[in-house]
Amino acid sequence: MRPELDIKKEFPILEKRQIVYLDNAATTQKPPCVIEAASRYYNENNANPLRGLYQLSIDATDEYENSRQEVADFIGAADKSEIIFTRNATESLNLVAYAYARNFLHEGDEVITTIAEHHSNMIPWQQACKATGAHLTYLYCEKDGTMTPEMLEKIISDKTKIVAVTQVSNVFGRVNDIKGFAEVAHKHGAILVADGAQSVPHIPVNVQDLDCDFLSFSGHKMYAPMGIGVLYGKKDLLEKMPPFLFGGEMIEYVTTEGATWAELPHKFEAGTVNVGGAVGLREAIHFMKRFGWEKIEQREEELTTYAMEKMADYPYVHIIGSKDPKEHHGIITFTIDGVHPHDCAAIFDEHDVAIRAGHHCAQPLLKYLGTMSTVRASMAFYNDKDDIDKFYDALISIRKEMGLDG
């Protein structure tokens, strides 16, 4: 790796804990600049935003709204009012399922999601369909994770009102053609909801170019604090949706008989908001911009390729999905012959390597693939080849430590 790409020094936790951290698809570590930005807000500008007429509250409001603008620019939104701050991608998807789906779906309508979705982009649609009498249909991927707009075209109909698709699978790591899916959905009068939890941290995303109607993502997967997430929605759709939560700040006027709602985006942000998290997310975006997408993508592709090439030499390992590292975007999900993934995780931990084991919140997908549990190593651009070497050394020791040959 070129020296200018060695950024591990900017993450002190990795040195303090002496850990190879390969669970980045679950959450990333936070650089000090992000932590300091959130801390600085609380030390210097903390007040309840949007409500006070005094200068400290005005400054807090500016911090919050400047963060919203930064997010809008980062994903190419047309207007910052299309950015709703939430707790995470899960809440963002639930917001759409409650405020849009439950109000605009009717009995006999159809929602299409895919078998490859994270539970967060599946269960909300299951519940919305149960509540409205709509029908939920699944698009099944190929066993290597391939899903195409042409496959959607074969099952969509004019009864379809919502298509919900992940942009990058948290199991396969494969990028789906959201722009193509949106084109098919719109042709049939449906909206396209994209789960960007695994895409926004790793690849450039421009919502206007993709023409998705909604996009969700979490800050904690892109070097920002936990507890801050984003829902992007097209303005015309957000304006006709009722609020998701009710209470303070999301109102315009209240009487004893009822209320009217605040303008976008505030009607969806009830109560005291997470300004510190929003400021941390803004700083995380600045941090990523320092390095640029070309370096981030190249680094993660190099590491994925290096890891998969080493793993290919070990006959007991079976990688889920494509054999092409370029299709994995830092996510390598696999099994080891004769060893349960939870035992694998325990042995990796003994070697100070942090990986994920289980169903990865994708139980229907794993069942479809013929397994109920797998191991997942997921990379960020602060990882390096030394991390992969230590990962591989632990990997090839697992069967021996379990008393098996090889």
Domain range for residue 328?
A: 3-30+292-401
Residue 93 near residue 165 (C-beta atoms within 8 A):
no
Q: Which two three-digit tokens encode residue 128? A: 């919305």
Using CA atoms, how far apart are residues 166 and 178, in angstroms rounded to an integer? 8
Residue where a domain stops, chosen among 247, 282, 317: 282
Residue 386 lies in a domain: yes
Residue 331 lies in a domain: yes
Q: Let me know whether 169 and 184 are in one domain.
A: yes
Residue 394 lies in a domain: yes
Q: What does the DSSP assignment read for 326-377?
A: GGTTTEEEEEETTB-HHHHHHHHHHTTEE-EEE-TT-HHHHHHHT-S-EEEE
24: pLDDT strictly greater than 80: yes
How many C-beta atoms lie closer than 10 Å to residue 247's C-beta? 11
Confidence of residue 5 (pLDDT cuts 50, 70, 90): low
Lowest mean pLDDT among 69-73, 89-93, 244-248: 244-248
How many C-beta atoms lie closer than 10 Å to residue 26's C-beta? 15
User: Sign (positive/negative) of CA torsion 101, 187, 233, 28?
Assistant: positive
Residue 20 lies in a domain: yes
Lowest mean pLDDT among 253-257, 345-349, 384-388: 253-257
Q: Let me know whether 206 and 248 are in one domain.
A: yes
pLDDT score recorded for residue 174:
97
pLDDT score recorded for residue 362:
97
The tally of CA atoms less than 13 A away on the side-chain side of residue 314 is 24
Alpha helices (H) in 144-221, listed in sequence order:
149-155, 178-187, 207-210
Lowest mean pLDDT among 42-46, 118-122, 195-199, 401-405: 401-405
Residue 75 lies in a domain: yes
Residue 382 near residue 14 (C-beta atoms within 8 A):
yes
Q: Let me know whether 118 and 26 are in one domain.
A: no
147: pLDDT strictly greater than 90: yes
Confidence of residue 50 (pLDDT cuts 50, 70, 90): confident
4: pLDDT strictly greater than 60: no
Confidence of residue 406 (pLDDT cuts 50, 70, 90): confident
pLDDT score recorded for residue 73:
98
Q: How many structural domains is the chain composed of?
A: 2
Distant-in-sequence, close-in-space partners of 87: CB < 8 Å, separation ≥ 6: 227, 228, 229, 274
Q: What share of the chain is helix, strand, coil (3-state, %, to 5)?
A: 45, 15, 35
Using CA atoms, how far apart are residues 219 and 201, in angstroms rounded to an integer? 9
Using CA atoms, how far apart are residues 176 and 151, in angstroms rounded to an integer? 12
3: pLDDT strictly greater than 80: no
Using CA atoms, how far apart are residues 223 and 244, in angstroms rounded to an integer? 27
Using CA atoms, how far apart are residues 239 and 82, in angstroms rounded to an integer? 10
Strands (E), 50-116: 83-86, 110-114
Tens digit of each residue's pLDDT (9 = 90 or more) over 319-368: 999 999 999 999 999 999 999 999 999 999 999 999 999 999 999 999 99
Confidence of residue 149 (pLDDT cuts 50, 70, 90): very high
Q: Let me know whether 166 and 201 are in one domain.
A: yes
Q: Let me know whether 22 and 44 are in one domain.
A: no
Pick from 63, 293, 395, 243: nearest CA to 387: 395
1: pLDDT strictly greater than 50: no
Task: Give pTM, 2 decimals.
Answer: 0.96
pLDDT score recorded for residue 225:
98
Q: Let me know whether 178 and 260 are in one domain.
A: yes
Largest CA distance in the chain: 74
Q: What is the CATH number of the domain that holds 337?
A: 3.90.1150.10
Residue 361 designated active-site: yes
The 8-class DSSP code of residue 121 comes to: G
Q: Let me know whether 183 and 43 are in one domain.
A: yes
Residue, of 251 and 148, whose pLDDT is higher: 148
pLDDT score recorded for residue 251:
87
Q: Which residue's entry shows tokens 């009830």? A: 270
Using CA atoms, how far apart are residues 327 and 45, in angstroms rounded to an integer? 44
Average pLDDT, the chain: 96
Q: Let me know whether 81 and 19 are in one domain.
A: no
Catalytic residue among 129, 141, 344, 361: 361
Residue where a domain stops, chosen among 232, 251, 282: 282
Q: Let me know whether 116 and 234 are in one domain.
A: yes
- Amino acid of residue 107: E
Percentage of the chain lying above the pLDDT 90 cut: 93
Residue 287 lies in a domain: no
Pick from 4, 61, 76: nearest CA to 295: 4
391: pLDDT strictly greater than 80: yes
